[in-house]
Amino acid sequence: MKKLVLFFLSFFLLFYQVNALEMEVDAKSAILIDQNTGTILYHKNEHERLPMASMTKIMSLLLIMEELSKGNINYDTKVEISDEASSMGGSQIFLKTGDVYKMGELLKSIAMASANDAVVALAEKTYGSKEEFINKMNEKVEELGLKNTHFMNVHGLDEENHYSSAYDMAMIARELLKYEDILKFTSVYEEYLQKSDGSKIWLVNTNKLVRFYPGVDGLKTGYTEQAGYCLTATAKKNNLRLISVTMGEESIEKRSQDTVKLLNYGFNSYKVNLIKSKGEILGKVKVNKGKKEYVDVMLVNDAIELLKTNDKISKYEFKLKIDTVKAPVKKGDIIGKVEIYNEQKELINTSDITVMENVLKANFFDYFKRNIKQVFLLG
């Protein structure tokens, strides 16, 4: 009881302190970034290769969310549990061979309870085999340009040549957070899972900060004897979303305290200014061979500037950088970028842009009507 009181007292003190830039954390490796821009706000040995335990599942979840977004699977897709999945050790929800679960139920079990058996089952379902899934994990590492990560398994149990770094984990987490649906799973503190035999298992989130730190809604804890206690956390306040990573901590308490230090520092020291919201019209672009000659263009995501707490908000200049747009083109297709400059003519943001509506390819009658219209205008 005394330990519990001291633990929550330390939380209380951490919530109300203003962290200095020179703060230190006990983690072997740590990083804090702004999710929107990727700006590093704090770092310590961020490129050191270390075992990352169940934070491995951030990459596993990323690949699964990608397949969900493509429509190749959905939350109701049925997953049959294999012998290999049911025999997994470590953290698990004790799945039985031959049982069938919905994709969403197993995804919840991974996100909340770090279930090794569930992640193996979803890896097999998503890419046909655990081995092929691991290949895809390492291909994704290369695609993201990360230099200090290599996966040997999908769950994070200690294994030779299985490692990552705080920086790489933060970048993988940043990619995962593009799929906001994942937060519906990682933000839940406790829930029951209905098992195939009719019994229920109580899922409790391994990330206790989801309950005890306002704004935390993910992301993934980890622990093995080699890795120590690890945590990739994310929190959002006043439109500012941060990602922190701590690796190689001595205890759960140290892991939580260091994470709170990092998040407090970020939220106390930085703010974001919403320059332009996604969907806002930026201008028009000509569509070659389109049924419409011109179409409005808009931001794919919010354009945000990261500022120090006391910085003043600037006036902005927008420059469209668009290659030739040729029909057919769909809303959501990336057709170029917009560069955003502040009053000092400094480039502060580069954001993807798309068309406001679908534009089909023009046919003979479209060209005919267009030419007739031009004749009348010239006449």
| Residues annotated as part of the active site | 54, 57, 114
From the list 63, 49, 225, 186, the residue with the least C-alpha distance to 130 is 63
CA dihedral (197, 198, 199, 203) in degrees, to 10, reads 100
Q: Report whether 155 contacts 119 (CB < 8 A).
A: yes
What stretches of 128-206 show up as alpha helix (H) in DSSP?
130-143, 166-176, 183-186
Judged on CB neighbours under 10 Å (0-12, 13-18, 19+), 104 is: middle
**Residue 355 three-state SS:** strand
Alpha carbons 226 and 163: distance in angstroms, whole number: 11
- Count of all residues that appear for the chain in the document: 379
Q: Can you say how many angstroms the Cα of residue 161 is from the centroid of all Cα atoms in its chain?
A: 25
